[in-house]
């Protein structure tokens, strides 16, 4: 299947990281989602009930990301992937990218983050 739904650039302020000031003050994170979904039914019907709502995906992602303070981006991205697969049965796989543009790194960089892909168990 090659059908996909994506959501890019979801901005979230959260309190993730290993350093104390990260958990106290927080910072901006950017989440990108790429979901494998069979869209043939929705393409034929033109009904929202036959697809996955972008708004609902965003809400699940943000609430999961902010539900607790994660030390690692890997854990945060994994939690989002699990939550999406649990909430949306039509999604067969999801790739979650979490960007941490203000990571406390002693270097000049454009971006840093993690990418996790999870597939529904057969």
Q: Which residues are catalytic?
A: 100
Question: Whole-angstrom Cα distance, residue 5 to residue 93?
Answer: 11
Radius of gyration of the chain (CA): 16
The residues, ordered by sequence, that sit 6+ positions from 61 with a Cβ below 8 Å of its Cβ are: 7, 10, 31, 33, 80, 83, 84, 96
């Amino acid at each position: 299947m090659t059908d996909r739904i994506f959501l890019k650039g979801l901005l979230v302020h959260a309190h993730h990281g290993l350093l104390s000031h990260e958990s106290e003050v927080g910072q901006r994170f950017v989440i990108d989602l790429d979901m494998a979904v069979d869209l043939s039914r929705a393409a034929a019907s033109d009904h929202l009930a036959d697809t996955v709502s972008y708004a609902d995906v965003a809400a699940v992602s943000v609430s999961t990301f902010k539900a607790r303070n994660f030390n690692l981006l890997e854990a945060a991205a994994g939690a989002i992937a699990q939550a999406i697969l649990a909430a949306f049965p039509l999604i067969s796989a999801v790739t979650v990218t979490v960007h941490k543009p203000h990571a406390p790194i002693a270097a000049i960089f454009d971006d840093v983050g993690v990418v996790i892909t999870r597939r529904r168990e057969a």
